[in-house]
């Protein structure tokens, strides 16, 4: 086997937001209007010039990333949101350049970082196939040679001369995927492309790429079942560094194990919040009623969500609205827990408090989920934090008879009985 992709101590840093300091006085504001062009110019320049010193607003998207992929292997890149996965693929696609290290890709590289990028709504399906095909590095002649196959695979023969803005979203995605599936690169780089639309069609396209054509594929996905079914090896990126790499099952196991420990999350250090801050959530936990942290969450059994919050202002009181949004790791909303639904009034008083939301019979199927928290005080958003706790649901006990529903059966489980009439 020969090497297809090699990265060597690859790193990429970004400069994040340029801070603004509010003015104390009118004179201050006026002075700022005069000075700010100079400072803005400096800030804009800093976006691309880095000093040698470590600035507070410089962050590493990833660093010291080294791995190798052999020809014909399918590598999955997994990790939490913000772990640097997408940036890594962008660097390997040459969309953005690394800050340090190097990488080597053998053969022709195509990357699909977002489905439908490059499509123009006013152009017909035919024009878009040529535009997108050449954008992905094919020559016009290669696109022509595969044109009929692409149209047939997308099942769009009748609509090929219709502007794509008149397509349904399903047709749009099918066209995009069909073009991708008929590319002929040696290395395909794909980001989360399995996340939208017609999942079955997309899996078919990916399999077509990987198995039939023997390509090397690098892809990012939040859907671990897809990663485990398509990939041979995986890399787990955690806050910009490789935590584990190797055979796919072992890496996924290690990653899952780390998720188990995130059923409780302290929120004090989280700064990525929205809201007026009158109420602040300090901790969230998803547990089975025995309350032990890390105990497994099972479908069909009771589950408790515990939210610790604090109301700092001694004089403030009001009515709380608490929403817990349960989402999949690709941010599809599965359910919302809210005291608005149950019409249970929660009055807030100063100090630290804990709220408990109890679910009697968890109807969610196998998978990994995360919670976004939103707290309103008297109808105004006081605190909201995305992606807090994560938990994995074990569906085996739901039917109480040894039946094992799985992720392929849908996101929810429904109590049911069957009889002949």
Partner 1 sequence: MSGEVTRIVARRHSGWIAYAREIVRFRDLFRFFVLRDIRIRYSQTVLGLGWSVLQPFLQTVVFTIFFGGLAGVSSGNVPYAVFSIAAVVPWTYFNNAVTNASTSLITNQQLVAKTYFPRLFIPLSPLGAGLVDLGIGIVLLLVVELAYGYYPAWWVIFALPLLVAMLFLAAAGIAIWLSALGALYRDVRYVAPFLLQILLFVTPVIYVVGSVPASLRPFYAINPLVGVIGAFRATFVHQSPLPLGSMLISVVVSLVLVVTGLIYFRRVERVFADVA
Q: Per rule CB under 8 A, is residue 211 in the interface with partner 1?
A: no
212 binds partner 1 (CB under 8 A): no
Pair type for strands 233-238 and 74-78: parallel
Q: Which helix (DSSP H) or strand (DSSP E) does residue 381 occupy?
A: strand 380-385
Closest CA to 11 of 75, 83, 88, 94: 88
Query: Least CB distance from residue 45 to partner 1, whole Å?
Result: 8
Candidates 73, 111, 287, 372: give the one binding partner 1 (CB under 8 A).
Answer: 111
Kindly state whether residue 134 participates in binding partner 1, applying the rule CB under 8 A.
yes
The CB-based long-range contact list for 222-227 (8 Å cut-off, 24+ gap) reads 222/78, 222/192, 222/195, 222/328, 222/329, 222/330, 223/194, 223/195, 223/329, 223/330, 224/78, 224/252, 224/255, 224/256, 224/368, 225/407, 225/408, 226/194, 227/76, 227/78, 227/252
Q: Does 20 bind partner 1 (CB under 8 A)?
A: no
Interacting stretch for partner 1, rule CB under 8 A, among 44-52, 228-236, 284-292, 381-389? 44-52
Q: Considering the complex, state which of residue 118 and residue 405 has its C-beta at the smaller distance from partner 1.
A: 118
Pair 81, 238: CB distance under 8 Å:
no
Q: Is 346 in the site for partner 1 (CB under 8 A)?
A: no
State how far the Cα of 132 lies from the Cα of 118, in Å rounded to an integer.
6
Window 169 to 208, contacts with partner 1 (CB under 8 A): 186
Least distance to partner 1 from the beta carbon of 85, Å?
15
What is the C-alpha separation between 102 and 60, in angstroms, rounded? 16
Nearest CA to 281 among 392, 386, 390?
386
Tell me which residue has tokens 């340029």: 18
**75-108 residues labelled b (16+ CB within 10 A) or e (exposed):** bbbbbbeebbbbbbbbbbbeeeebbebebebeee
Among 58, 131, 196, 335, binds partner 1 (CB under 8 A): 131
Q: Does 120 bind partner 1 (CB under 8 A)?
A: yes
Closer Cβ to partner 1, 190 or 297, answer by number: 190
Part in contact with partner 1 (CB under 8 A); list of ranges 98-106, 237-245, 271-279, 288-296: 98-106
Selected binder of partner 1 within 113, 355, 357, 381 (CB under 8 A): 113
Kindly tell me which of 91 and 348 has the beta carbon lying closer to partner 1: 91
- Please tell me the distance from the alpha carbon of residue 294 to that of residue 287, in angstroms, as a whole number: 7
Q: Which stretch binds partner 1 (CB under 8 A): 16-24, 94-102, 150-158, 366-374?
A: 94-102
Q: Which of 380, 340, 386, 335 is nearest to 361 (CA)?
A: 335
Minimum separation from the CB atom of position 49 to partner 1 (A): 10
C-alpha–C-alpha distance, residues 393 and 389, integer Å: 13
Instruction: Candidates 42-50, 154-162, 166-174, 246-254: pick the segment binding partner 1 (CB under 8 A).
Output: 42-50
Minimum separation from the CB atom of position 88 to partner 1 (A): 11
Q: Verify binding: residue 123, partner 1, rule CB under 8 A.
A: yes
Q: How does DSSP classify residue 195?
A: G
Does 269 bind partner 1 (CB under 8 A)? Our answer is no
**39 touches partner 1 by CB under 8 A:** no
**Which residue in 64, 82, 126, 137 binds partner 1 (CB under 8 A)?**
137
Taking alpha carbons only, the member of 321, 317, 324, 376 closest to residue 346 is: 321
Task: State yes or no: residue 91 binds partner 1 (CB under 8 A).
Answer: yes
Q: CB-wise, 200 or 212, nearer to partner 1?
A: 212
Please state at what angle helix 140-154 crosses helix 125-135, rounded to 10 degrees: 130
Is residue 71 a contact point for partner 1 (CB under 8 A)?
yes
- Among residues 65, 75, 83, 105, the one that binds partner 1 under rule CB under 8 A: 105
Task: Please tell me whether residue 108 binds partner 1 under the rule CB under 8 A.
Answer: yes
The first and second tokens of residue 210, run together, are 């990987």
Size of residue set near partner 1 by CB under 8 A: 47
- Contact footprint for partner 1 (CB under 8 A): 10-11, 14, 41, 44, 47-48, 71, 90-109, 111, 113-114, 117-118, 120, 122-123, 127, 130-131, 134-140, 186
């Amino acid at each position: 086997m020969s090497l297809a992709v090699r990265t060597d101590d690859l790193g990429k840093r970004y400069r994040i937001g340029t801070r603004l300091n509010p003015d104390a006085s009118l004179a201050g504001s006026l002075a700022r209007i005069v000075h700010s062009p100079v400072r803005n110019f400096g800030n804009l320049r800093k976006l691309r010039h880095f000093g040698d010193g470590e600035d507070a607003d410089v962050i590493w998207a990833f660093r010291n990333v080294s791995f190798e992929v052999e020809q014909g292997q399918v590598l999955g890149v997994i990790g939490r949101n913000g772990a640097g996965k997408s940036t890594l693929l962008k660097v390997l696609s040459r969309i953005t350049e690394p800050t340090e290290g190097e990488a080597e890709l053998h053969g022709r590289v195509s990357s699909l970082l977002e489905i439908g990028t490059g499509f123009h709504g006013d152009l017909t399906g035919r024009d878009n196939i040529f535009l997108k095909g050449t954008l992905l590095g094919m020559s016009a002649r290669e696109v022509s040679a595969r044109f009929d196959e692409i149209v047939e695979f997308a099942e769009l023969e009748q609509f090929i001369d219709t502007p794509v803005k008149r397509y349904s979203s399903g047709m749009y995605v099918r066209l995009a995927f069909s073009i991708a599936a008929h590319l002929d690169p040696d290395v395909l780089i794909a980001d989360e492309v399995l996340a939208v639309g017609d999942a079955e069609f997309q899996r078919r396209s990916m399999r077509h790429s990987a198995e039939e054509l023997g390509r090397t594929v690098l892809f990012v996905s939040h859907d671990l079942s897809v990663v485990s079914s398509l990939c041979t090896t995986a890399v787990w990126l955690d806050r910009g560094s490789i935590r584990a790499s190797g055979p796919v099952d072992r890496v996924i196991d290690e990653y899952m194990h780390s998720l188990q420990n995130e059923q409780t999350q302290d929120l004090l250090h989280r700064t990525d919040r929205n809201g007026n801050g009158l109420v602040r959530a300090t901790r969230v936990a998803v547990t089975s009623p025995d309350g032990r942290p890390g105990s497994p969450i099972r479908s069909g059994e009771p589950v408790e969500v515990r939210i610790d919050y604090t109301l700092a202002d001694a004089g403030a009181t009001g009515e709380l609205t608490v929403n817990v949004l349960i989402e999949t790791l690709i941010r599809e909303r599965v359910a919302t827990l809210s005291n608005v639904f149950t019409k249970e009034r929660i009055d807030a008083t100063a100090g630290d408090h804990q709220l408990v939301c109890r679910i009697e019979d968890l109807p969610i199927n196998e998978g990994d989920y995360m919670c976004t928290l939103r707290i309103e005080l008297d109808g105004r958003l006081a605190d909201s934090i995305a992606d807090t706790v994560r938990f994995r649901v074990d569906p085996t006990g739901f039917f109480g008879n040894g039946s094992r529903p799985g992720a392929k059966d849908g996101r929810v489980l429904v109590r049911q009985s069957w009889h002949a009439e």
